[in-house]
Amino acid sequence: MDEEIIKNYILKTIENTPHLVKNRIFKHGKELNKRNDYYRIKKYIDKFLKEYSDDKFIIMPGLRGVGKTTILYQLYNYLITEHNIKYNQILYLNLDRLKDKGNIDLQQYFDIFVKDINEEYYLDNKPLFIFLDETQLSTAWGIVGKIIYDETINVFMIFTGSNALKLTNDNDSRRRALIREINPINFSEYLTLKHFQKFPDNLQEMLIQLLLQGNIIEMKKFEKEVQYNQFIELKYSVKKEWEKYIQTGGFPLTLQSDLIEANERTLDAKDLIIEKDLPQITSITSKTIEKAYPLLDIIALQKPGTLSEDKLSNKLDISKTSVRQLLKALTQSLIIFQIEEYGSPSKRNKKSKEYYYWSTQMKSAIFQNDGGSTTRSVNEINGILLENYVAYSLYRLKIENNYKFNIHFDSRVGGVDFLIKTLTGKIIPIEVGIGKKNKRQIISAINYYKSEYGIVISNSTSQITQDGKIIYVPYITFTLF
State pLDDT tens for residues 401-423: 766 899 999 999 999 999 999 99
Is the overall model pTM greater than 0.85, yes or no? yes
How confident is the model over 148-180, as pLDDT tens digits? 999 999 999 999 988 766 777 778 887 899 999
- pLDDT higher for 399 or 306? 399
- CA dist list (Å): 429 to 44, 47, 210, 444, 471: 37, 40, 12, 10, 11
Query: What does the pLDDT read at residue 284?
Result: 83
Position 196 pLDDT exceeds 80: yes
- Residue 128 above 80 pLDDT? yes
* pLDDT above 70 as % of the chain: 94
What is the edge-to-edge ordering of all strands in the sheet holding 90-94? Answer: 90-94, 128-133, 155-161, 57-61, 178-179
Q: Which of 75, 120, 68 is nearest to 96 (CA)?
A: 68
Residue-level pLDDT at 79: 98
Q: Please report which residue ranges of 273-343 form alpha helices under DSSP H.
A: 286-290, 292-301, 309-316, 320-332
Distance from the Cα of residue 75 to its chain's centroid? 19
pLDDT at 463: 96
Mean pLDDT of the chain: 91
pLDDT exceeds 70 at position 346? no
What band does 348 get if pLDDT is binned at 50, 70 and 90?
low
- The whole-number pLDDT of residue 334 equals 86
pLDDT value at position 175? 83
Q: What is the arithmetic mean of pLDDT over 180-188?
A: 93
Q: Which stretch, 198-202, 343-347, 424-428, has highest mean pLDDT?
A: 424-428
Instruction: Give backbone dihedrals phi and psi of 91, rounded to 5 degrees, phi first.
Output: -110, 115
Distance CA 367, CA 465 (A): 33
Cβ proximity of 464 and 448 under 8 Å: no
Q: What is the pLDDT of residue 373?
A: 65
Which pLDDT band holds residue 28 (cuts at 50, 70, 90)? confident
Most confident of 79-83, 136-140, 191-195: 79-83
pLDDT at 351: 58
Question: Strand 336-341 to strand 353-357: parallel, antiparallel, or no bridges (unpaired)?
Answer: antiparallel
Burial of 469: CB neighbours in 10 Å, binned 0-12, 13-18, 19+: middle
216-220, 283-287, 311-315: the lowest-pLDDT one: 283-287
Range from 4-8, 171-175, 314-318 carrying the lowest mean pLDDT: 171-175
- Closest to 68 in 3D by CA, of 81, 58, 80: 58
CA-based nearest residue to 442, from 467, 468, 421, 470:
470
- C-alpha distances in Å from residue 99, one per residue of 65, 93, 96, 104, 167: 20, 11, 5, 8, 18
Residue 26 CB coordination number (10 Å): 13
Mean pLDDT for the stretch of residues 304-332: 88
Q: Give the pLDDT of residue 30.
A: 87
Task: Please tell me the distance from the alpha carbon of residue 84 to that of residue 77, in angstroms, as a whole number.
Answer: 10
Burial track 311-320 (b if 16+ CB lie within 10 A, e otherwise): ebbeebebee
The percent of residues above 90 in pLDDT, for the chain, comes to: 70
pLDDT tens-digit series, residues 226-260 = 999 889 888 789 999 999 999 999 999 898 899 99
Q: b or e along 41-65 (b: 16 or more beta carbons within 10 Å of the residue's beta carbon)?
A: bbebbeebbeebeeebbbbbbbbbb
In this predicted structure, what is the pLDDT of residue 249? 93
Is the pLDDT higher at 276 or at 452? 452
